[in-house]
Structure 1
Amino acid sequence: MTLVLGIDLGTSGVKSVLVDEQDAIVAEASAPLQISRPKPLWCEQAPQDWWRAAEATLDTLAAREPARMAAIGAIGLSGQMLGVTCLDEADQPLRPAILWNDGRARAECAEAEAAVPDFAGLVGCRAMVGFPLPKLRWLARNEPGTLARTRRVLMPKDYLRLQLTGVAASDLTEASATLLMDTKAGHWSDELLAACGLSRDQLPALVASHAISGTLRTGLAARWGIPGDTPVVGGAGDNMSGGVGAGIVAAGQASISLGTSGVYFLANDRFLPARGQGMHTHRHAVAGLFAQNGCILSAGAALTWVAALVGAGDVPALVREVEAASLPIDETPVFTPYLSGERTPHDDGGLTGTFSGLGMATTRLHLVQSVLEGVAMALGDCHRALHETGAAIAQVSLVGGGAGSRLWSELVASAIGMPLRRAPSASVGPALGAARLARHGIGGPLVAGAAGSEEEIAPLPAMTEALAGKRQRFAAHLALR
């Protein structure tokens, strides 16, 4: 039996999975990552840490599953998107990567749009804080020496590809989110490159998500017991790879990812540029489809933050404690999850998080549950913003680590007013999607697993009513800035 390997570089860690011909995950390993916040609004990671974490997961799999590693037929990559990684002539990082949730480049967004006529029509969305083009303009202004020494710019998962294969390449999903690509045409745009002072030779070659981009280095293949010349396919950004992992492979299908951020992802067979509300349209990993996205910047990140605030080291255990407490929603504070600003629907990096409705009876568990509720209500805002574009949403799947919480899943379903499909593999969606793309790249089906294994999480009428009762206070924060 031929297996495929999916590697997902997330913000909080790297996860690698081995997937069989029926889409079953037969082995997995993970390694943690940390975010550096050296200044307000800054979020960075060292690319070298990404590679060390990826190595750790593959070392673990090689030690535990040597026979299965020897059966790998292809490798797929997924990763956190938008992270600007500047490399020198020796392909060494010149500085820490500037991540997707970094808020420093606010002024550069308006400048980028002013420099390119019909900016949104070309790239699929407005210039927003956290996206690569504004951050590259920020570097040109504040760290000109860095850009002067930059031989190439890569996104996070493509840095892993470079280490694995020696090839500098990216895929269309990732490239379309840089704001440097003509999204409908599918190639780098000289007009957009001029807006940040880059040239095409500083950017990677582009391949389809299922196309072979290179082969695993001989030394690494020997180290991990993987067959020589194993192909590595283009892969996809984590939103799109997570969509493939959740089976979002046809127009009208959607997913919500509860990871570090919260992403509402909809597959569409038309290119519909997003011109406001912090929405964005990119390429999907499935040929012929586009991806409409809404994103809240702090989902799992907000939960991790409040866990640290209340002194809890084990976040899953804390969530289980909250679930066991069965706290009434009308007794919890209202939380706005704008800890890193907000993208959808506000497109405002200056928004801040708040608790309101605190009292002497408020406990640590009330605070934690209010964070789960606030994230759910923010995803409800994403849902409404997507509907306002005219998008037809036929079904929604829930993926990401947060999908493991029954309470959080029910809160999200109740906030959007639609049932959610939750698969057994929901927590490894992007890694599974990367593995599926790898299999497709060597001639196999994109989705091989049998349908019908998903659990349906229905909206709860009482929960829907209780969340609706909090919406006025939730929305009132915008007037208090």
Structure 2
Amino acid sequence: MYLGLDLGTSGLKGVIIDDKGNVLAQESVSLSVSSPCATWSEQDPLSWWQACIDVIQQLHQRLDLSKLKAIGLSGQMHGATLLDAQGDVLRPCILWNDGRSQMQCQDLMNTFPELIERSGNLVMPGFTAPKIRWVKENEPEVFEKLAFVLLPKDYLAYRLTGFMSSDCSDAAGTLWLNPETRQWDDVLLAATGLTQANMPKVHEGCDLVGVLSEESAQALNLPELPVVAGGGDNAAGAVGMGVTNAGQGFVSLGTSGVYFTVSESHKANPENTVHAFCHALPNRWHQMGVTLSGANSLAWFAKLVDKTVPELLDALEESELQRTSVLFLPYLNGERTPHNDPLANGQFVGLTNATDLNGMTLSVLEGVAFSLLDCQNALANAGSIVDELSLIGGGARSAMWRKIIANVLDKRLIYRDGGDVGPGLGAARLALLGEQQSQGKDIEELIAEYCTMPDILASHEPDEEMKVYYQRKYELYQSLYHVTKPLNEALSNLS
């Protein structure tokens, strides 16, 4: 058996597969996010380790974990986890959806024009590098003690093994990695006052990086198992769904929303706000469009109206409502693709006395789908077009939402077995690949054998009768951001 640990924003999942790749068990523990100031988003790294202990404790109750052979990791990208020389956490981790470093981003692009060329990506507040510049300028006492910077899943790997490591898919999202060489770049590091001494060693996602330390094995009640480097959540999700070759793609409906396509080489296209990163598997890269509030938009709305997400979805389905005049912008955490605007705001437009809860719920589902269409258009402009998409993430469990996305994207969507735990499944597959590779087996043969596409649970074709409705509404959606942008900027100055 192989264990995948997926450290998300809202929780940590543990997924166990057998040596055929079948999912045997999964468990999860919730995590909380802190927002001490507007646009800030932080998390306590110590809560990740406690969640890891709790998840594995739950899995012990389901299966005999003495049969585990290896552990793989997946995690939320871009988070800045700062450690001192003793390996102790200096401050809460600044997360991927934190928008405080907008000024530092502009300064980095003005001062280091080669940064975009060497990293292949725009400098955005979500990435790790500008966060470190913000810490240096606003928390100099923390920066002075800073010895190591780790990404969230890599902090877990450190707690598990005692070794500091990363993989190139996750590291590419820091802006310190050169995606072509798949290693840290000295010039990029120097732009934020760091050197390679501050960074973990970069591996391929299926490389072994250590074994459970005696202390961790005891805390988790596990043998001293090998641990593989793993991958950033989206790259790991691609491994879980068998999206491993050029021309394949998927959409993820997790806390954020992601449109992911595989490429055979590093294809940078920052002018279209497309992310160009390494894949978690060797000799592969990928492009992404990202909307910062995917399934989080629906979770936020459910909390606002004191309902659960299933209650909202069930009520909407029972109503059989398919069209609404309400329009929703899902920019609750700002937006990346295509606007790169951390100050963009969420909005409902078109509310009247006749508006009911179902109409607002439908508008949220549509708004997230429109934000994914923005991503699709940006990727198409960057030369990345796919005919068929797999769908993963917690939001993908909703058949109604899947149908809306298929209609809006005008694509065939496939929901596969394990789609709700794609990154965790991918992390477990990477553990399997790593353990088998350590026995001298060829990695490309292993990828072909184990990284296949899971069974299809449902497929959704675009509905021609709804095409005109969605095209007209998308045009309004696009114009709304630009019309209200000055107002959003003025409102941000009031807080």
**TM-score normalised by length of structure 1:** 0.96
Contact 2:242/2:452 (8 A) holds in 1: no
Q: Which residue in the other structure is 2:26 paired with?
A: 28
Name the CA shift for 1:452/1:4 in 2 (closer, same or farther; >3 Å).
closer
Q: What is the SS of the residue equivalent to 1:177?
A: helix
Q: Which residue in the other structure is 2:338 paired with?
A: 345
Name the CA shift for 1:450/1:40 in 2 (closer, same or farther; >3 Å).
closer
1:432 CA drift (Å)? 0.3
Q: Which residue in the other structure is 2:488 paired with?
A: none
Give me the whole-angstrom Cα distance separating, in 1, the residues matched to 2:451 and 2:474. 39
Q: Which runs of 5+ in 2 are unaligned?
A: 438-445, 486-495
Deviations 1:98-118 (A, max 9, x none): 000000111111211223333
For 2:78, give the aligned amino acid: L
For 2:149, give the aligned amino acid: V
Q: Which residue in the other structure is 1:324 paired with?
A: 318
Q: Which residue in the other structure is 2:289 paired with?
A: 294
Deviations 1:118-155 (A, max 9, x none): 32221121101211111111111111111111111100
Q: Which runs of 5+ in 1 are unaligned?
A: none
Structure 1 position 480 matched with structure 2 position 476? no
1:224 CA drift (Å)? 4.0
1:402 CA drift (Å)? 0.6
Give me the whole-angstrom Cα distance separating, in 1, the residues matched to 2:274 and 2:453. 30
Deviations 1:397-426 (A, max 9, x none): 100001100111111111111101110211
Give me the whole-angstrom Cα distance separating, in 1, the residues matched to 2:311 and 2:451. 31
Name the CA shift for 1:55/1:452 in 2 (closer, same or farther; >3 Å).
closer
RMSD: 1.5
1:328 CA drift (Å)? 2.7
Q: Which residue of 360, 364, 368 maps to 1:367? A: 360
Give me the whole-angstrom Cα distance separating, in 1, the residues matched to 2:290 and 2:247. 18
Deviates more, 1:453-462 or 1:70-79: 453-462
Structure 1 position 185 matched with structure 2 position 200? no
Give me the whole-angstrom Cα distance separating, in 2, the residues matched to 1:111 and 1:156. 26
1:53 CA drift (Å)? 1.0
Deviations 1:39-83 (A, max 9, x none): 100011010111111111001111332x2x111111100000000
Structure 1 position 335 matched with structure 2 position 328? yes
For 2:469, give the aligned amino acid: A
Deviations 1:198-257 (A, max 9, x none): 1211111111100000101224334544333x1100100001001111111100100100
Deviations 1:373-409 (A, max 9, x none): 1000110111111111112324311000011001111
1:21 CA drift (Å)? 1.9
Structure 1 position 407 matched with structure 2 position 400? yes
Contact 1:22/1:449 (8 A) holds in 2: no
Q: Across the two proteins, how many residue pairs are aligned to each other?
A: 474
Give me the whole-angstrom Cα distance separating, in 2, the residues matched to 1:113 and 1:103. 16
Contact 2:2/2:428 (8 A) holds in 1: yes
Aligned ranges for residues 430-441 of structure 1 at < 5 Å? 430-441=423-434
Q: Which residue in the other structure is 1:17 paired with?
A: 15
Q: What is the SS of the residue equivalent to 1:397?
A: strand
Contact 2:240/2:451 (8 A) holds in 1: no
Name the CA shift for 1:451/1:268 in 2 (closer, same or farther; >3 Å).
closer
Give me the whole-angstrom Cα distance separating, in 2, the residues matched to 1:408 and 1:451. 22
Give me the whole-angstrom Cα distance separating, in 1, the residues matched to 2:157 and 2:420. 23
Q: What is the SS of the residue equivalent to 2:15?
A: strand
Name the CA shift for 1:450/1:173 in 2 (closer, same or farther; >3 Å).
closer
Give me the whole-angstrom Cα distance separating, in 2, the residues matched to 1:201 and 1:33. 31
1:450 CA drift (Å)? 6.4
Q: Which residue of 162, 166, 170 maps to 1:166? A: 162
Q: Which residue of 409, 434, 443 maps to 1:416? A: 409
Q: Which residue in the other structure is 2:441 paired with?
A: none
Structure 1 position 73 matched with structure 2 position 69? yes
Q: Which residue in the other structure is 1:453 paired with?
A: 455
Give me the whole-angstrom Cα distance separating, in 1, the residues matched to 2:331 and 2:453. 36
Contact 2:393/2:419 (8 A) holds in 1: yes
Give me the whole-angstrom Cα distance separating, in 2, the residues matched to 1:450 and 1:192. 36
